[in-house]
Structure 1
């Protein structure tokens, strides 16, 4: 069936390419006007001979007419020769040869790089391959060594001095949990993820049995980031510890789903990510990533009819009400929406985009000081996510806020 489909596609493409060439050749073969004129002049010569035999014209007139018609015949013959193509079939042979060469090259490339005749991989074999991929993951040290080096984060001399002071303070007081917490945040902000991961591990070791699910989740996330996005066995153990303490820890569940996806088990990823998407909240930073990939995951998991829940947003009544407001009322309405967003982010957290929206909205309504405080809080909240920090920093700079 595969080869029949391929042959049909080749035939359709070849026909589409060669049809214009064939039409052009047909138009070229149409008899030009010079050939018609040449036939007329030859008929005129025969007519002159008949008139001469019947005595209609004299020999002198016949000779003059034949000379005149002969000149016309020579001119028509010249025009006929110029109208003919110089190379009869070369113009059409070249496209056909090029098409044949392309088809042969494509077939050869598929035969070399493809897998003609290969049978579909049975499910048992796919599961075995996935298990091998899972078992042969690189260690944390190997993954960090192979990970591409991140671009250095530009920092002012003052920031560099403060981070160095913090490092020295933590080195002098290794049992200072608060100092280690700050060190994790600022090492992450400076782009030194490996140092942040090491500081987070020291913080967990210091807290011992009092370490929280968030502590282990953050360690796993930092390990994955330092390893170039790979969930290594060490990162999996940290994430698993977070889930053992709190089975509902959403970011840890997201990372476990990512680990399954990296190792050929999108069916397991779908189950986990589907639950996260349906639980929400829509403001969680992993929801946009899940929403973008869930259709493909559903298909790979054998549930092509799955429909993701629609994202939540402002109601139609709110939008209609805003249209009918006076400028003063609309300003108060915006202030109320900003206050609601701020309360929700303070209580439930939210995505980087929502934090950025809050920062810019506060500046719009004239609350620059509150916007600056929210920007400072956002830097701490998303310290483990350089991408989120970069986006938020761009929002703060556009709003005219400093560090």
Structure 2
């Protein structure tokens, strides 16, 4: 199949259009110049008619013309004079423009047409064939199917510096590694602890091995959350890239629990990365409508879905983010107006409620970050460090860990 962008016909049409536009503009200039060429003749007619009126008046004064005849002749000549004067005014006051006055507009027209062609040759793609929607969708599907593997993509990333570890935690990790061998261990609790803590430390290879072993040992009793966590390990290792291996883990999770929120979010992210924004939005919109405010993926989904909808050609605005429970900056500021005893009781009560709810029900990374900041304000550094360690063991997504790390910095917890 021959496309117009691949054949001389495209350039023939483009050149003809450009030449036609330039020709029309130049012809309009020449027509204006031709009209202005009438001005000298009209100026001559005006002068001639004025001379005729002066001659009639002289003949009348000498008595060679009767007054009635002189009046008739002056009326006729005056009529012609007025007509000539009006025509001269319409053509620009009777002065013929200089020839050079048309050169600059003509050059500007040619420069605009030539510049447009030049810009297209520089920025456009003259040989690009027509791209109907079906072809673009097929190309995106092929791009997703043939995307780079986990190992290949990770190898292309710059090295990541090792995360600093407190000596006490490092000693505990050494004991855990010695007790749990991902190659042969049958200890589900040990494998789960090893996978989560290795992932929290950024040791994604050992974390992946432990989590894969955990899933294998569970066998038919595995849960969707097990496969989602494996996918999160791979996605974090690849810097948010959803590789084919991560996709396989997500598929396994959705086969067990088709409405798993985390799996649907990451699966939509895979389509968005591959250019299938329509499929990403089709997954994300119902997920956004039913996502609880404290869901771990709620904040990042709300940030990304509007852009995905725009790229999918859909007019969509996500619902506003609800206020998170617990003490915020406004509440702490309001407490500053109270008496010291009342202020301390108010802040302690709000912090206690938030801490108890997170311990029993859990919550998003934003609430854990808020609790860490609040404990830092109260000067309870040891407790803040405990909450920080627990939060880092609970969350593995890069965005969540960044929120928690920022809260630790605000609370004055040295890393």
TM surpasses 0.5: yes
Name the TM-score, length of structure 2 as normaliser.
0.62
Q: Counterpart in 1 of 2:259?
A: 248
**Residues 312, 129 of structure 1: alpha-carbon distance in 2 compared, 3 angstrom cutoff:** same
What is the aligned counterpart of 1:221 among 220, 224, 232? 232
What is the aligned counterpart of 1:385 among 397, 400, 403? 397
Q: Does the Cα contact within 8 Å between 1:148 and 1:228 map onto a contact in 2? A: no
**Residues 261, 347 of structure 1: alpha-carbon distance in 2 compared, 3 angstrom cutoff:** farther
**How far did 1:175 drift?**
1.8
**How far did 1:160 drift?**
4.2
Mapping 1:1-400, distance limit 5 Å: 108=118, 110-116=120-126, 121-156=131-166, 159-171=169-181, 174-304=185-315, 306-313=316-323, 322=334, 326-327=338-339, 328-365=341-378, 367-382=380-395, 384-400=396-412
**How far did 1:387 drift?**
4.9
**Residues 323, 182 of structure 1: alpha-carbon distance in 2 compared, 3 angstrom cutoff:** closer
**How far did 1:294 drift?**
2.2
Provide Cα deviations, 1:20-69, integer angstroms capped at 9, x if missing partner. xxxxxxxxxxxxxxxxxxxxxxxxxxxxxxxxxxxxxxxxxxxxxxxxxx
**Residues 207, 160 of structure 1: alpha-carbon distance in 2 compared, 3 angstrom cutoff:** same
Q: Distance in 1 between the 2:270 and 2:398 partners?
A: 20
**How far did 1:114 drift?**
2.1
Q: Does the Cα contact within 8 Å between 2:375 and 2:411 map onto a contact in 1? A: no
**How far did 1:220 drift?**
1.0
Q: Does the Cα contact within 8 Å between 1:213 and 1:241 map onto a contact in 2? A: yes
Q: Does the Cα contact within 8 Å between 1:284 and 1:349 map onto a contact in 2? A: no
**How far did 1:108 drift?**
4.3
**How far did 1:133 drift?**
0.9
Runs of 4+ with >6 A deviation = 318-321
Q: Distance in 2 between the 1:379 and 1:324 partners?
A: 31
Q: Does the Cα contact within 8 Å between 1:167 and 1:183 map onto a contact in 2? A: yes
Provide Cα deviations, 1:185-224, integer angstroms capped at 9, x if missing partner. 2322332212211111111111112221111100011122
**How far did 1:342 drift?**
2.9
Provide Cα deviations, 1:65-124, integer angstroms capped at 9, x if missing partner. xxxxxxxxxxxxxxxxxxxxxxxxxxxxxxx9xxx89x96x9646414522485762111
Q: Distance in 1 between the 2:148 and 2:336 partners?
A: 60
Q: Distance in 2 between the 1:184 and 1:167 partners?
A: 10
Provide Cα deviations, 1:130-184, integer angstroms capped at 9, x if missing partner. 1111221223333333343322223355544543333222239722222222221
CA RMSD of aligned residues (A): 3.6
Tell me, what secondary structure is at the counterpart of 1:130? helix
Tell me, what secondary structure is at the counterpart of 1:374? helix
Q: Distance in 2 between the 1:183 and 1:109 partners?
A: 58
**How far did 1:308 drift?**
1.5
Q: Which runs of 5+ in 2 are unaligned?
A: 1-13, 19-106
Provide Cα deviations, 1:302-321, integer angstroms capped at 9, x if missing partner. 322x2221111279xx9799
